[in-house]
Structure formats: structure tokens, C-alpha cells
């Protein structure tokens, strides 16, 4: 149907932290940008006068709106999508995510994110789309995706595939246990012959963003101040000697400030953290050598035991209670560590495939590209799994491939000749409606 070399499909993986988009058949996504967007509320009036929240105080605005019908004045928000748009500080700009607990809650934002991806790549009317979806996506969510893409973007065909299945394809396996540790959460999902076994899916709210938060709180408790990049400028007083001058922007929202600080904490986490070989122990790591890190404003900080303690939260979530400001996180629900989630997930599957799942555990997602994570998980599983099981944790040696494994799986799938008759076409959508996607995309 869409076979042939001229028309390549577009693969989009909208994760809770970043959106990855590119052409099928390539080995890495062309466009990678944050899944959060900047939003400024603007007051708009129908008769042509436009009042912006940024420029006028609210009293002027109310005076200007008096005498007009209240219906004529409506609030409209302007969204800023992409790393560059977000990196530029604006007055009153909030940073918002389309996701709530891993599920899309704001389709307007998703629409804008897709539009941004298409602007970077192609005209969506000419290319079929392959979308990655969370393992536990609800049927209504898939139908909404189909509606937006067919109605707003007039795409010729669409296919929706589960993250875990695509990761499995990326490693060339039909049956495996996928451990996907992303920005918002960690999901363990068994895949058999290209289908997710929903009864075995286990999730945990601990993902990359949670670890970043822990890193930030821990360093702040030691008196380290994160100055966002927009809040200062550096001036060369003498050659090689810089002075930092603080800038004041009173209208910056708290959320934007936090977003900018998190970017710094996230970079620290990615640069210095590695999973410890054995469970973290305060006394054993007390005298560990420090690692220096230079903050954007030029101050150099030393990071010690936190390099090992923060990643170990993935294995032992109760460590969170030792971090100042995060004490009440676990009280609400018991959170399991990675090895427990893996074993629990495998035990919920049929006895026949358990051995195969133990021997092909796949790591994917941005958080999974942390150093030594694979070795530590394998070691812990060997200690906790049944004697007969041969435990093998597989992860691409290349950190980029681990981060983009879902996208790469989509790229492989959409370029297979045998896949071309599986697309859900625009004609089928017009004939059967959005609910037909449940039949076309298992």
C-alpha cells in the first residue's frame, strides 16, 4: 500500500520527558525536543483590541474590558514548543506538561507538539505515521490520537504500537521482558510474539525526573544554590577572570525557574551518577573521593556519595526518606525496587515462557543508560531469581540506542515490507470510524 522507496513513514515517540521524531529506516530520530511546553495566558478581545497579560496590569485590563460583553473577552494561551522556545525566558511563562500520571491529559498541547515535529520534518499529508504509545494506554486515548491525526493533519495512514513491543523489535526479539525506565516512570512489561502480556505489566513512579528532583533536594540541603542560566550574565573583568552579575526578572514564574534549575540538576545527574555495585550503605560511601562539577555560573561544586545514592533509589526506593524534603514520598504507596518488579512481572506470566523472559531482559529509556545499571540489575536478579533460571540482562552498549530504543524499533517496523499492509488507512477511518484502530493495531 505504501511500499516503495519514495514514501517513507514518520515515526513519533512522545515520551513523558522528550519527543522523538524522524523518518522510518534511519538509525536515529531527526528531531528530539522536550515534551513540556511554555504557556502564556493572553486576554483577547473580539473587536480587534488585544490585551496581553504581560504588558498591562490587571486593573488597566479590567478597565479596558468594561463596556464590552463578557463573552467577547476570552482567555487564550500561547504555547511555546521546542528546546529553543523554552530556553528563552519570557514574563509570566508557565511550563506545563501534557501528561498526568503517564496519561495524556491535555490534547491541545500534544497537538502543538506534533505540529512542531511536522514543521521540523515534513508535510504530514504525504507520509503515513507510526506512533509509539505507553504500554497501558486506554482505548479512548488511541481513538483520540487517530481523530487528531486524520482530521487535523489529513495523514494518509496510521499505526499505533506499544513502547515495549518496539523496544523488543529494536533488539531483534519477539519475546522478551522490557524494562523501560524513562522520565516520568519505570515500566516492566513482558512481550510474547510481539504482543504485550498486560497481566504482567508492573509500573513504578520512579523515573529520571524523580531522580533529578532527589539530586536537587540533596544538593540544596548541602547549601548549593542552582542559579538558572537566565538569572545572571558573566563579564570578563581581566583576561580569563570572569565576574558573575545577577539579573533580576520579577515576572518569571516559579515553574519556569524550577524547570531551569532542574535542567542543571539533570545534567549533574547524567554526568556524575552511576549505579553502585552493591546496595548503598551510608558508612561505606562516607569517604568516597569527590567529583567536581562546574555550574553554569562558574562555581565548582564537589559531589560525593550522592553519585551512588541517587541511582540506588531505583533498586531501593526507601532510600528516598533519607533525602531532606522527600521524606513523605513513599508513605502513600509501597514502591518496589527494579529487581522485585522484574521478578513479580515474570511470575505473573505463564510458566512456559518464564525461562525465556529471564534470559532476555531488555533495558531501555533515558534513565536506563546510566552507567553500571545493567550489571547491577543482573547481579541483584541472580541473587533473587530461582536456581534454574539463567538471568541475562541485555542493553545496547551505545547509550544513544538505549535512550531511543522505542523510536528505533518503530523505525525498523515501519520500514519492513511485510508491515506495509498493516497500516490503518484514511479510507478505513472514514468508513469505520476511529474505534476501528483497536482492530487494526493490536
74 pLDDT band (50/70/90 cuts)? low
User: Residue 54: what pLDDT?
Assistant: 42
Domain 10-32+99-163+406-440 and domain 186-206+334-402, same fold? Reply is yes
Question: Any idea where the domains of the chain sit in the sequence?
Answer: 10-32+99-163+406-440, 37-95, 186-206+334-402, 208-322
The helix/strand/coil state of 392 is coil
- The residue-averaged pLDDT of 417-431 equals 92
> Higher-confidence residue: 264 or 58?
264
The architecture CATH gives domain 208-322 = Alpha-Beta Complex (3.90)
Percent of the chain with pLDDT over 90: 70
128-142, 173-187, 208-222, 232-246: the lowest-pLDDT one: 232-246
Look at residue 140 and tell me whether its pLDDT is greater than 50.
yes
Cα–Cα distance measured from residue 175 to residue 234, given in angstroms and rounded to the nearest whole number:
54
> Higher-confidence residue: 95 or 236?
95
Cβ-in-10-Å burial (0-12, 13-18, 19+) of 365 comes to buried
Other Cβ atoms less than 10 A from the Cβ of 327: the count is: 11
The average confidence (pLDDT) of the chain is 88
pLDDT digits (tens, 9 = 90+) for 85-130: 999 999 999 999 999 888 899 999 999 999 999 998 878 898 999 9
> Higher-confidence residue: 387 or 65?
387
- The residue-averaged pLDDT of 263-290 equals 93
Cα–Cα distance measured from residue 379 to residue 399, given in angstroms and rounded to the nearest whole number:
20
Pick the CATH number of 10-32+99-163+406-440 from 1.10.3720.10, 3.30.420.40, 3.40.50.300, 3.40.470.10: 3.30.420.40
- The residue-averaged pLDDT of 148-158 equals 94
User: Residue 45: what pLDDT?
Assistant: 52
pLDDT digits (tens, 9 = 90+) for 14-53: 999 999 999 999 999 999 999 999 999 987 654 444 444 4
pTM here is 0.88
Look at residue 8 and tell me whether its pLDDT is greater than 90.
no
User: Residue 68: what pLDDT?
Assistant: 40
Percent of the chain with pLDDT over 70: 90
Task: Indicate the fold that domain 186-206+334-402 takes in CATH.
Answer: Nucleotidyltransferase; domain 5 (3.30.420)
30-44, 56-70, 220-234, 357-371: the lowest-pLDDT one: 56-70
- The residue-averaged pLDDT of 136-154 equals 93
238 pLDDT band (50/70/90 cuts)? confident
3-state secondary structure 255-319: HHHHHHHHHHHHHHHHHHCECCCCCCCCCCCCCCCCEEEECCCCCEEEECCHHHHHHHCCCCHHH
- The residue-averaged pLDDT of 385-399 equals 88
4 pLDDT band (50/70/90 cuts)? very low
User: Residue 57: what pLDDT?
Assistant: 39
Look at residue 284 and tell me whether its pLDDT is greater than 60.
yes
Amino acid at each position: 500500500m505504501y511500499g516503495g522507496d519514495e514514501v517513507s513513514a514518520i515515526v513519533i515517540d512522545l515520551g513523558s520527558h522528550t519527543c522523538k521524531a524522524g523518518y522510518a529506516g534511519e538509525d536515529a530520530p531527526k528531531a528530539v525536543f522536550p515534551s513540556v511546553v511554555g504557556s502564556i495566558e493572553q486576554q483577547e478581545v473580539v473587536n480587534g483590541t488585544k490585551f496581553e497579560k504581560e504588558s498591562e496590569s490587571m486593573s488597566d485590563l479590567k478597565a479596558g474590558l468594561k463596556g464590552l460583553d463578557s463573552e467577547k473577552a476570552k482567555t487564550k494561551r500561547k504555547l511555546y514548543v521546542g528546546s529553543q522556545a523554552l530556553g528563552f525566558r519570557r514574563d509570566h511563562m508557565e511550563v506545563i506538561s501534557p501528561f498526568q500520571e503517564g496519561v495524556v491529559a491535555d490534547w491541545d498541547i500534544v497537538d502543538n507538539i506534533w505540529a512542531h515535529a511536522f514543521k521540523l520534518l515534513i508535510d504530514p499529508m504525504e507520509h503515513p505515521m507510526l506512533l509509539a504509545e505507553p504500554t497501558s494506554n486506554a482505548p479512548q486515548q488511541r481513538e483520540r490520537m487517530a481523530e487528531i491525526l486524520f482530521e487535523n493533519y489529513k495523514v494518509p495512514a496510521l499505526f499505533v504500537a506499544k513502547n515495549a513491543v518496539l523496544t523488543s523489535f529494536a533488539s531483534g526479539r519477539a519475546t522478551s521482558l522490557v524494562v523501560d525506565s524513562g522520565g516520568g516512570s519505570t515500566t516492566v512489561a513482558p512481550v510474547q510474539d510481539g504482543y504485550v502480556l498486560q497481566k504482567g505489566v508492573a509500573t513504578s513512579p520512579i523515573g529520571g525526573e524523580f531522580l533529578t528532583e532527589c539530586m536537587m533536594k540533596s544538593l540544596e540541603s548541602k547549601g548549593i544554590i542552582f542559579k538558572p542560566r537566565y538569572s545572571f550574565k558573566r563579564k570578563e573583568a581581566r583576561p580569563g577572570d570572569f565576574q558573575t552579575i545577577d539579573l533580576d526578572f520579577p515576572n518569571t514564574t516559579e515553574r519556569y525557574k524550577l524547570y531551569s534549575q532542574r535542567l542543571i540538576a539533570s545534567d549533574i545527574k547524567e554526568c556524575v551518577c552511576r549505579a553502585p555495585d552493591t546496595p548503598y550503605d551510608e558508612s561505606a560511601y562516607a569517604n568516597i573521593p569527590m567529583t567536581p562539577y562546574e555550574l553554569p555560573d562558574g562555581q565548582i561544586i564537589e559531589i560525593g556519595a550522592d553519585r551512588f545514592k541517587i541511582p540506588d533509589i531505583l533498586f531501593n526506593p526507601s532510600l528516598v526518606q533519607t533525602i531532606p524534603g522527600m521524606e513523605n514520598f513513599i508513605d502513600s504507596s509501597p514502591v518496589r525496587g527494579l529487581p522485585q518488579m522484574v521478578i513479580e512481572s515474570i511470575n505473573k506470566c505463564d510458566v512456559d515462557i518464564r525461562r525465556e523472559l529471564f534470559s532476555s531482559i531488555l533495558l531501555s529509556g533515558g534513565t536506563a543508560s546510566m552507567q553500571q545499571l545493567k550489571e547491577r540489575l543482573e547481579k541483584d536478579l541472580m541473587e533473587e531469581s530461582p536456581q534454574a533460571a539463567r538471568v541475562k540482562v541485555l542493553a545496547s552498549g551505545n547509550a544513544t540506542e538505549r535512550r531511543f530504543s522505542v523510536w528505533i524499533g518503530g523505525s525498523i517496523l515501519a520500514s519492513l515490507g511485510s508491515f506495509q499492509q498493516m497500516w490503518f488507512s484514511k479510507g478505513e477511518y472514514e468508513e469505520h470510524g476511529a474505534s476501528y484502530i483497536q482492530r487494526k493495531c493490536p
